[in-house]
Chain A
Amino acid sequence: MQMQISMPVEAQSLSDAPRGAIAETAPAKACASKLGFWYGNMQALKGLDMEIRDKRVTALIGPSGCGKSTFLRCFNRMHDLTPGTRYEGSIHLYPDDIDLVSRDVDPIEVRMRIGMVFQKPNPFPKSIFENVAYGLRVRGMRARALIEEEVEKALRDAALWDEVKDRLQSSGLSLSGGQQQRLCIARALATNPELLLFDEPTSALDPIATARIEELITALRERVTVLIVTHNMQQAARVSDYTAFMYLGELVEFDATSKLFTNPGRKATEDYITGRYG
Chain B
Amino acid sequence: MVTPKSPAPFAKSIRRRRARDRVIESLLLLAGLVAVFTTLAIVWILVAEALPFFSHVPLADFLTDTMWTPLFAEPRYGILPLVAGTLVTTFVALALAIPAGTIIAIYLSEFASHRVRESVKPALEMLGAVPTVVYGYFALVMVTPFLQKLLPGLPGFNMLSAGLVIGIMIVPYVASVSEDAMRAVPNYMREGSYAMGATRLQTATRVVVPGALSGIAAAYILGISRAVGETMVVAVAAGLQPNLTWNPTESAATITSFIVQVSLGDLPHESIGYQSIFAAGLVLLVITLAFNIVGFALTRRFREAY
Contact = CB atoms under 8 A, between A and B. Distances in A.
Interface of A: 76, 78, 81, 83, 108-109, 111-112, 115-116, 118, 120, 122-126, 134-135, 137-139, 171, 173, 184, 187-188, 191
Contact of B195 (A83, A116, A120): A116
A109 B198 CA distance: 9
Contact of B306 (A76, A109, A134, A173): A173
A118 B190 CA distance: 12
B37 interface: no
Most buried by A among B114, B190, B198, B207: B198
B216 to A, nearest CB: 14
Question: Shortest 10 CB-CB distances between A and B: which pairs?
Answer: A125-B304, A112-B197, A116-B195, A111-B197, A122-B192, A125-B306, A122-B188, A135-B196, A138-B198, A125-B211
B196 A126 contact: no
B141 interface: no
Contacts of A184: 192
A232 to B, nearest CB: 21
Contacts of B16: none
B113 interface: yes
A134 B193 contact: yes
A192 to B, nearest CB: 12
Interface in B61-99: none
A63 B277 CA distance: 73
A184 B113 CA distance: 29
Contacts of B190: 81
Given A118-B191, A118-B192, A124 B304 contact: yes
Contacts of B114: 83
A188 B189 CA distance: 14
Nearest to A80: B194
B191 A78 contact: yes
Contact of B196 (A83, A111, A125, A173): A111
A275 to B, nearest CB: 30
A87 B197 CA distance: 20
A138 B197 contact: yes
Contacts of A135: 196-197
B273 interface: no
A109 B196 CA distance: 10
Contact of A118 (B188, B199, B210): B188
A191 B197 contact: yes
Contacts of B210: 125-126
Contacts of B306: 125, 173
B192 A139 contact: no
14 contacts: A76-B195, A81-B190, A81-B191, A109-B197, A111-B195, A111-B196, A115-B195, A118-B188, A118-B192, A122-B191, A124-B211, A125-B210, A137-B206, A139-B197
Interface in B165-224: 188-199, 202, 206-207, 210-211
A83 B113 CA distance: 9
A139 B193 CA distance: 12
A125 B192 contact: no
A83 B112 CA distance: 12
Most buried by A among B189, B199, B304: B304
Contacts of A118: 188, 191-192, 195
B187 to A, nearest CB: 9
Contacts of A108: 197-199
A38 B190 CA distance: 22
B110 to A, nearest CB: 11
B305 interface: yes
A96 B306 CA distance: 38
A188 B191 CA distance: 13
A277 B150 CA distance: 76
B191 A125 contact: no
Contacts of A138: 193, 196-199, 202, 206
